[in-house]
Structure 1
């Protein structure tokens, strides 16, 4: 049989990148109308309108008539679209964000592509095969991050999910662009593909970024000449037809396991610097995800208000629109990231409003302070954890003037240790549909305490006792040493921590901040030829001690070079002082050490990382990503620099979601993360885990890097990517041999701390009065949300570890039936009647299960 080249005409559409969204949309509307004309007239037999349905919404907002024409062509199968709502960077967003992305696509368009199309993402997580399988998709088209030696392979995830995968560059618009060279260009393409896969079939993706491609019908002579020269058949086709033939053509494919973050060949860049470019973008996205997934969705399961669910759908639509690789990755022009920031802030505003509305329904009025408290004030503590849990609480309350905090009572009326710092006068404004606008003036107090046994995905009420004499303030002293639970904590001159345990074992250099130059761009880290690394200088240390916690508060400064020399080969001689405040907290009830680092960045072109030494000579480290744990090697900071054009140096930075760990036994270290997705196991200068806190660069892309030997986009200056101004990051550290399941739980609780808010009036109940939420022991809750059908709820639990997990689920009192479902919420089994209010299952390593819970 004559091998065939399938020509699939398409466009790759970035909603925003080197132009803001509206600039691109004006072009998109023109392109959409042209596609409708060409497909409608037969000039184009078919067209792939990228892998994202959001283009339909974007066109419909200004040209509903064109959007209607497109939808008709999609329903006829002549235009294909999806399966995603947006083409997300699928490493930097959560697993549930990806699931909502696919669900949004199905809401937006009744007929979406069955091909897992994601060729331009900057690498792919190990869990993507299972996410695609969960929507009935058993194929993937990828490019960046795929092993370059394999044109086709079976990609398997940690749970055994598998997709037939094609490794193909999507940008081949130039092949048919010029009539005079098209025949030769097609022939060259076929011969190059023949070297990768001798017997075909081959896929020519006729299109590229934001281009109106040339229809194959206009190059019929060139295609005929190419067929004759290469001995192939060149046919206009669809992705579905190509994948069908490609699967039949190969019997024995290589298997590729885990994440796709392989170093590519020429012009196939992984672009790992996007993990840390514009860290403020990642931080806002993470806050919004946590709010929707862990607090709003569970709360709305019991809400019958259609307006609440419509607002939640709107919030997810906004958040998912921040997920494209040029948006969440921080590699667009400044105007784009001003808009993504506002989008995320809108999501936070919607989420907070929904939490308040559900609280009001439950009798917990969170709308401001109300009448200023004189004797007591209630604080509502809400958990995003899937199991009943203890956790730290920090919350501000406002009371009548001259009143101070004298104690705290738990939901059972028992005294609880509390730390209270008086912050002075406070002014508060509140208004609502049933509240006249009002401004109150009182006194503000900052409380810290440990809430115990807060119900899973539920709430508990703590009562603050007020008086006229402060009794709960921490003591403050000067000095660099504190003793907590037999451990001695000492601050070094460089603001790192030395810990000596009760046995006299000492570990130094914990949390050392190291700042080095970065002459790169938003895509790639690129150190100066003559780099200069600086560490902080301690100015002052204060020790705050209370019954709740001990805090080492460090004022320090970084003597940071202002930027780079004019030739960009070294850091400048001009130095600016970067103020730092580092808080290291040791809470009395736990072994975790918690860092908060606040800085005011005033320098350019540098990277600040937080290091923890790892004893011995470890060869690998691990981190969680989505629903599984991935193991990576310790590496040099940067691999061998490329000497040929169009190549990229290996960079050991990798994505992590809630924890990274390395070492064995007592020497094991585990870093708990919060919106800091870039981690590296570094071998230079002694083994350490390095977490990127800040990366400052001033260019979208440059063509003169040493770590990447050509541009990755246009050479635009992007001053706001220098990330000047205040930045605050949270990390935590656990030392010793935690059981794997305990580490996952600690990390999840660090990443999703309790919400705590003062209530307007006293709450009648003390703990969530009826178990309306599931309680999951032995695994992590990934989602608890209203079902897409509107009937019942969906509960999803995950075992991210490499051992079996015995899981017990106590179901809400309203649940009458359970049914196994896929990620897309379609049924996998018949409903089962609930008899004892419980599900008991064993989750295999890395297994995820979803149930529909019915009334």
Structure 2
């Protein structure tokens, strides 16, 4: 068994978890200073600072002298940091969030970054992570949770073909060299190297000497144990670094007789003992996920495009670049797996909530100030509107398009909406609901703070042909009496565009299309018990499933849309009983309001679900039936679509200690779809990352797609679950993870042919996820629409990013093909794009890609392979 065991001393540093951030940072300062002292004295040769540069920022904020020492050691190769800014849960954030994470690391550490794709503690990995790493010049990955346990080394391939050399290795191996007694240390080390010899017979071996928030023992202090193991096994353990180990591992793999196995797609496999996937983190503290989604959507779809246009026009909000960087820094700090996953103590999630709200405040202010740069006044002027109200409709899409708009406007007292004109002055249908008297506060740099009084109205209309990443101004005409109010009537049925909608007793909807095709049970809410914790769903042995009962239905209709306003009740057990094996006999009725709407000319059936949760220990899901017996369902994640199997609610329960059951919940970003041909059905999502495909055996009826709306648990971790046979963290009570309070969710359902075309479905889902944004203008707008061609326009693909370049010169455009088929996209380049150069994700020039100018027709043809992504740097000069 002659081989080398590379001993890499390291720490895994959760920035916040079972203690809040400041409590951890005080320990981080001590650890980093001790590591630097050991390096200076030669007591250790090297140290891995957990693959994230945020530790450097956190130390520098209090001890810049210690941060300087870290940088000096990193420059000398004795400390490795990065390549990430934070070790994110890379399933729960967007693809662009991951890209910004890596870009932030470059800003923080520059050339000091490691080139090892280190991410061993995320709770599974998305299929697109290899292409993200390759896009930053990284061709290696170290993973653990979710990796196939039968492979210690493999080639991990993204759907687009990007590939990284991947090592499957647990990061938490402190117990191997930790014992004080040399004999105990030798026993632990020998057991480790013998296990590794079975996994990687040809070697080399990797021992990650460290764990969570621990100063590891110095290898020199275990020299006696290391020598004893070498004599017993022939394995020589020596201090090393991750780059040294990966170089040796690649050499060994290249000289092996057999090729490395290829693993394609996402890594969400059940692991060996104590290698937990922990899928309950997809739904724990849903409010955390919702706020993160709102914040990253605002930055990606509205703030960055506005800042990009300001870069090339020279007109934009003051300090926009700095404010945008600040917002991303705040948001990325919410991405670590113990933060966005909702599996930390309550104090931590109060902080993550505040960080996300700060991002929303920064982003909203930047978008509003960008409107001022277009001579559009969204500030108050102290004069409530009496004659007309202008509404600014802004697009977060990379193509011109239409979309529904709902916006509140305020007017002078006694004034009502009597009509609506589009940017060209044509009358358009509008629904205007008077909401009553209003009082609001106005203030700005040049506006004396004041409280105004008048009337509030809610407008609903369809905006047409809004320019890509541009805007259009609609004008509401006011009069003395309301003339555009919707009609209200009692009843459970409505017809829109020949489609009949009927509300059932359980608040689900039956849809019958113009051709007579019928879908029943759409949007059925099902609530069940959950005796699990923030990491893992665990149903009671004697569970009780509860569905709503309808109390009343009102049909609200106008020429724009029809809404079924459903008042229902969920009679929920208040908690589990004392045994935790069944739900409580004590019950409380929870009012539920569901607004199911269909806009004229729109194939999407939309839900707005509202519940004020006061119950504990339960899970509420939104079910959609699927015709036939398909074996798989699909969902989009980052830049590709994944196939997942239909199956039971929970797989076979584990019997041995340290294992977990297969639970078929999986991440999704904007849609989930199943079925064949005209029997297809898709659910459009909004900040709901957990979806499951249930087979007929699980439902007792048809196959179903189930989307988790709410999961309430009261423990960080428990040691008495059936679906996981030990704890996954400390057994702390976290009462705020019960998620009491209002929960509001937007979903959509598309049926039949409209759910079959993958590109069309992806566009529909993107429009649902990022609806048109509307704001009342306080002064009449002279310009009615943003100039055509101010921003790039993309047809045949989706825009993933339109942002200022990191270099400060030019802007970056990234497009993605959301289809399993090759796509021929066309980019309509703006006139200011004098020079176009294709780049990697890190915005560095793509090898062999020429720098060109825009064609005479201003068109840039773009061929994209299945799930392909391409990035260009657009510049206003000829360099």
TM class by shorter-chain length? over 0.9
1:642 corresponds to 2:661: no
1:68 partner SS: helix
In structure 1, C-alpha distance between the alignment counterparts of 2:792 and 2:438, rounded to whole Å:
39
Which residue matches 2:297?
290
Which residue matches 2:266?
259
Deviation at 1:354, TM superposition (A): 0.7
Whether the aligned pair in 1 keeps the contact of 2:380 and 2:447 (CA below 8 Å) is: no
TM-score of the two chains, using structure 2 as the length reference: 0.96
1:803 corresponds to 2:824: no
What does 1:127-276 correspond to in 2, within 5 Å? 127-180=128-181, 181-251=184-254, 252-276=259-283
In structure 1, C-alpha distance between the alignment counterparts of 2:520 and 2:871, rounded to whole Å:
44
In structure 2, C-alpha distance between the alignment counterparts of 1:666 and 1:716, rounded to whole Å:
49
Whether the aligned pair in 2 keeps the contact of 1:179 and 1:222 (CA below 8 Å) is: no
Which residue matches 2:402?
390
In structure 2, C-alpha distance between the alignment counterparts of 1:487 and 1:381, rounded to whole Å:
29
Which residue matches 1:561?
573
Whether the aligned pair in 2 keeps the contact of 1:379 and 1:756 (CA below 8 Å) is: yes
1:301 partner SS: helix
In structure 2, C-alpha distance between the alignment counterparts of 1:346 and 1:655, rounded to whole Å:
26
In structure 1, C-alpha distance between the alignment counterparts of 2:789 and 2:370, rounded to whole Å:
16
Deviation at 1:795, TM superposition (A): 0.2
User: Alpha-carbon deviations, 1:53-81, whole Å to 9, x = none?
Assistant: 00000011111111111111111111000
In structure 2, C-alpha distance between the alignment counterparts of 1:277 and 1:465, rounded to whole Å:
46
Deviation at 1:503, TM superposition (A): 3.3
Deviation at 1:2, TM superposition (A): 3.5
Whether the aligned pair in 2 keeps the contact of 1:369 and 1:428 (CA below 8 Å) is: no
User: Alpha-carbon deviations, 1:310-342, whole Å to 9, x = none?
Assistant: 010000000000000000000000000000000
1:682 corresponds to 2:733: no
In structure 2, C-alpha distance between the alignment counterparts of 1:638 and 1:148, rounded to whole Å:
21
Root-mean-square deviation (CA, aligned residues, Å) is 1.0
In structure 1, C-alpha distance between the alignment counterparts of 2:516 and 2:245, rounded to whole Å:
66
Greater Cα offset, 387-396 or 801-810: 801-810
In structure 1, C-alpha distance between the alignment counterparts of 2:740 and 2:145, rounded to whole Å:
31
Which residue matches 2:852?
832
In structure 1, C-alpha distance between the alignment counterparts of 2:540 and 2:845, rounded to whole Å:
56
Which residue matches 1:612?
624
Deviation at 1:420, TM superposition (A): 0.5
Which residue matches 1:853?
874
Which residue matches 1:499?
511
2:787 partner SS: coil
In structure 2, C-alpha distance between the alignment counterparts of 1:711 and 1:231, rounded to whole Å:
36
In structure 2, C-alpha distance between the alignment counterparts of 1:357 and 1:756, rounded to whole Å:
14
1:841 to 838, 862, 871: 862
Which residue matches 2:603?
591
Whether the aligned pair in 2 keeps the contact of 1:396 and 1:444 (CA below 8 Å) is: yes
User: Alpha-carbon deviations, 1:347-367, whole Å to 9, x = none?
Assistant: 000001111111111111112
In structure 2, C-alpha distance between the alignment counterparts of 1:434 and 1:34, rounded to whole Å:
53
Whether the aligned pair in 1 keeps the contact of 2:142 and 2:169 (CA below 8 Å) is: yes
What does 1:311-710 correspond to in 2, within 5 Å? 311-368=323-380, 370-683=382-695, 684-685=698-699, 686-710=702-726
In structure 1, C-alpha distance between the alignment counterparts of 2:336 and 2:90, rounded to whole Å:
9
Which residue matches 2:21?
21
In structure 2, C-alpha distance between the alignment counterparts of 1:780 and 1:310, rounded to whole Å:
27
Greater Cα offset, 356-365 or 336-345: 356-365
Deviation at 1:770, TM superposition (A): 4.9
Which residue matches 1:53?
53
Deviation at 1:485, TM superposition (A): 1.5
- Paired residue total: 855
User: Alpha-carbon deviations, 1:77-111, whole Å to 9, x = none?
Assistant: 11000000000000000000000000000100021
In structure 2, C-alpha distance between the alignment counterparts of 1:366 and 1:28, rounded to whole Å:
45
Whether the aligned pair in 1 keeps the contact of 2:491 and 2:555 (CA below 8 Å) is: yes
What does 1:61-76 correspond to in 2, within 5 Å? 61-76=61-76
Deviation at 1:149, TM superposition (A): 0.3
In structure 1, C-alpha distance between the alignment counterparts of 2:478 and 2:414, rounded to whole Å:
10
1:728 to 739, 744, 755: 744
Whether the aligned pair in 2 keeps the contact of 1:605 and 1:698 (CA below 8 Å) is: yes
User: Alpha-carbon deviations, 1:357-401, whole Å to 9, x = none?
Assistant: 111111111124642111101000000011001000000000110
1:302 partner SS: helix
Whether the aligned pair in 1 keeps the contact of 2:718 and 2:727 (CA below 8 Å) is: yes
| Structure 2 segments unaligned to the other structure (5+ residues) | none
| Structure 1 segments unaligned to the other structure (5+ residues) | none
In structure 1, C-alpha distance between the alignment counterparts of 2:395 and 2:500, rounded to whole Å:
32
Whether the aligned pair in 2 keeps the contact of 1:787 and 1:825 (CA below 8 Å) is: yes
Deviation at 1:502, TM superposition (A): 2.7
